[in-house]
Structure 1
C-alpha cells in the first residue's frame, strides 16, 4: 500500500475519493485475479415478493436480491489519510467478483449481476455486492394434499468457474431474509432454510447454497369453488334413489349429476401438473364419487327393469331372500299382520303396501322372520310384487350410498388435516 500518501484528516471531498480510486484501482489491480488463495463468499438472500407459483408448469417466480460479501486485501486504505472516507463505490467491471449462477433457473443460465451495479467497498477491504433479480426457478410441486398443501421451492446459487479448492460459498444466516416480503394473495410465506451443499461435475466440486422456501396455500378460494361443490354434487347423486320411478326422470337426473362430476374432475385436473409422481387426494375422492355415480346408473337401470316387469309376481329367489333378510329390516320398524292383509309401517313416510290374500301363510312367514330363522318362500308365498321390491331397493341403496359418501368425505378431511405437514 505504498502508493497511498499520508494526508490530513477531514470531511469527504471528491479529491480524497478520487485519490482512493486511483491508488487502489490503478494499473497494479487485476480484476481477473482472485484476492486470496481461498476466498470465502458470504451470501444472504433477501426475498421481496412471490410473483407466481405455477402448479401446472412447476415453476416459481420471485423478486429479491442477493447480498454478497467477501474480503479483498488489495482494497484496504487508511481512513485518516483520505478525509475519514470509510466507503467508496465502483462498478463491478472494475474489481474482481465471483461468478455466480442460479443453478435451477428455467430462464437462462447467465451469471448474476450486470455492469451497471455498484459495489460498496469498505476501507477494511470488505466488498459488498447487492445484485437484484427476478428469479424464475424450477419447483418440484407436491399436490397430494391440494388445496391444503405446502410447497417447498429452492433457489440454488452455485459458483460457476471456481471450485471449492479456491472459493467457498457460506450462508450469512440460517433463513431467508423476509423482512421486506410483500404478502401474496394465494400463498403464505411459511418458513425458510439455507443449506450449504457441494455440486460435483466432471470430477470437480463446486460450492453451492440452497435457499429453501416453504409456502402455504390459502385454501379459501378452492374450498368455495372446488371442495364444497364436489361434496354437494356427491350428495345429489344419492338423491336419485329417492326420485319416484313413475316420474320418468331417474336416468336423466343421475346422468346430469355424473356429467357435473366429470366437469369438476376436469377442472381439478387442468390445475394439476402433468406428472405421476404425486396424486392429489381430492382427485382420488372425485374419482370415487364419479365411480359411485356410474354405479348408481347401472343400479337404476336394473331397478327400473324390475319395477316395469310385466309379471309382477316374478321376483327372483335370491331377491326374495334378500328382501326378508335385509330390505325389510332397513325399510320397516314394525310389521302388523291381520287375517286378510299384511301392513308394513315404515320409518319415514309410513307407506302402506297392498293386501296379502293368504293371511295364514303371511302370518306363518312373519313369525318365522321375527324368530330370526328366515324361510325361503315359494313363489305363491312371497307377498310383495316387483314394484314393491324395487321401492325397497331404492331405499337400501340410498342409505348405502350415503354411508359410503360420508366415510369417503371424512377420510378425505382426516388425511388432509393429519398427514399434511410442512416440509421444513
Structure 2
C-alpha cells in the first residue's frame, strides 16, 4: 500500500510543471523590445488613459501646528492598463500570468505631490518595481513617508479638529489625455496604527478638477479629518487653572485684621505666573485664523489675579484707617440699612472704616467669583458650541 502512495506521489510531481527562468527572461525581452516608454500606452493618442489610485494609511507620523506640516506613512497603489504589455500565458507553459518590471523599463505616470512640505520629487522612481498582469494591467505599490503642508486651525484648542489633504497630480498631463480615478471613496485603514495625540474622525478620496491657463488638470485629493485627544490638556492645564481660581477666592475668607491676606494673595499670584510660564510652551503660537479662546481665558485669569492683589491691599488699607476721617455718605447709608435689617437700632449704630472694609471685602469677593465663573463657563460653552462631537473611526 505504501508503495502505491509513493508511485502516485511521484506521478503527480512529474505532472506539475512551472515556467522557468529562461521563459520569464524571454517574456521580458519580448515585452521590452521596441517598447517606447515615453509614449502613452494608448493606440488612439487622442483618448485619455485612466489611472486608478488608492491609498493604504499605516500611521500618522507627525502633525506640527507650528510648521504647518503633516507626515503620513502609507502605501500608494497606482494602476493603469498598457496594451503593449500583454501576452498569452499558454506560450509560457500556461502559468506565467504575471511578472515584474521596473519603472525604468515601461511607461509610468509622472506622478507628483502638489503640496509637498519641501521640494517636489517623482512618486515613481526608476527603481520602483511594478507588477504586470498578462492582460496588460500594471500595478505599482509604493510605501513611503508622505510629507505635505497643512494649515492648522487652533481656534478651538485643545478641542480643535484639523483637516489635511494630500494632493497628487500627473505632471505634464491634462484631463484631455490623463484621467485620475479613486479606487475607493475613503482611505484604506486596514494597517492603520492609532496615534497618541490625534484620532481620525473621517477620510475621503476624491478627484478635483483645476483650470490652469484654460486647460483642465485633475488632482486626486486624499483628505484626513483629525481631532485632538484633549485628555492631557484637560487634566494638566484646565483643571489646575480651575483649582488656582478657587484658591484665589480663599483670601477673602481670611480675617481682615490678619496680616497674611496680602502675603497669601501675592503667593497665589506668583503661583499663577509660574504655572502660566510652564504651560506657555504647550500652547500653539498662532494668530491666524484666530487666537485660541484658551489664550483669552488665561489672560483674564492673570488680570483677575492682579486685581485680587490690588483689592486686598486697598481693603487692608481702608480697614486700618483712622475713624476720624470722613466716610462717604452712600457707604454710611448702605451700612446703616444693612445693620437695621439685622435688628440693630439706628441711634446705636457706630459706623467705622472697619465696617466699610468688611462691606468692600464682601462686594469684591462676589465680583471676583462672578468674573471667574463666567470666564470659565463662557470658555467651556464656546468650545462645546464650536466643536463637533465626533467619533473615532475604526478599521
* TM-score normalised per structure 1: 0.80
Q: 2:224 aligns with which of 180, 202, 213?
A: 213
State whether residues 154 and 286 of structure 2, in contact with CA within 8 Å, keep that contact through their aligned partners in structure 1.
Answer: no
> What's the Cα RMSD here?
2.5
- Worse-matched range after superposition: 216-225 or 174-183: 216-225
Structure 2 unmatched runs, 5+ = 1-15
> After the TM superposition, which parts of structure 1 deviate over 6 Å for at least 4 consecutive aligned residues?
none
Q: How does 1:132-143 map to 2 (within 5 A)?
A: 132-143=143-154
| 1:144-159 pair list within 5 angstroms | 144-159=155-170
- Pairing 1:50–2:17 present: no
Question: How far 1:239 moved relative to its partner?
Answer: 2.1
1:302 aligns with 2:314: yes
Q: Which residue matches 2:298?
A: 286
1:19 aligned counterpart, secondary structure: helix
Say if 1:188 and 1:217, in contact at 8 Å, map to a contact too: yes
Q: Distance in 2 between matches of 1:110 and 1:243?
A: 68
State whether residues 160 and 206 of structure 1, in contact with CA within 8 Å, keep that contact through their aligned partners in structure 2.
no
Quote the offset at 1:263 in angstroms.
Answer: 4.2
Distance 1:95 1:397, change over 3 A: same
Structural mapping, 1:2-401, within 5 Å: 11-26=18-33, 28-36=34-42, 37=45, 38-83=48-93, 84-270=95-281, 271-311=283-323, 314-323=326-335, 328=338, 335-337=342-344, 358-359=347-348, 362=349, 383-401=350-368
Post-superposition shift, 1:165? 1.6
SS at 1:299 equivalent: helix
- Matched residues, number: 370
* Conservation of the 8 A alpha-carbon contact between 2:65 and 2:151: no
Shift in CA distance, 158/267, structure 1 to aligned 2, threshold 3 Å: farther
Contact kept? 1:71, 1:127, Cα under 8 Å: yes
Task: Give the drift of 1:151.
Answer: 1.5
Q: Structure 1: 5+ residue runs without aligned partners?
A: 1-8, 343-357, 363-382
C-alpha contact 2:51 2:181 (8 A) present in aligned 1: yes
Note the C-alpha offset of 1:268: 4.7
102 and 69 in structure 1: CA distance in 2 versus 1, 3 angstrom threshold: same
Contact residue 150 and residue 423 of structure 1 kept, 8 A? no
Residues 58 and 273, structure 1, Cα contact 8 Å, conserved in 2:
no
Are 1:47 and 1:63, in contact at CA under 8 Å, matched by a contact in 2? yes
CA distance in 1 between partners of 2:32 and 2:99 (Å): 11
After superposition, the C-alpha distances for 1:127-180 in whole angstroms (9 at most, x for unaligned) are: 101111111221121212222222111111122221222112211111111110
Q: 1:64 to 1:314 in 2, by over 3 A?
A: same
TM-score (norm 2): 0.86
Once residues 355 and 204 of structure 2 are traced to their aligned partners in structure 1, the CA distance between those partners, rounded to angstroms, is 67
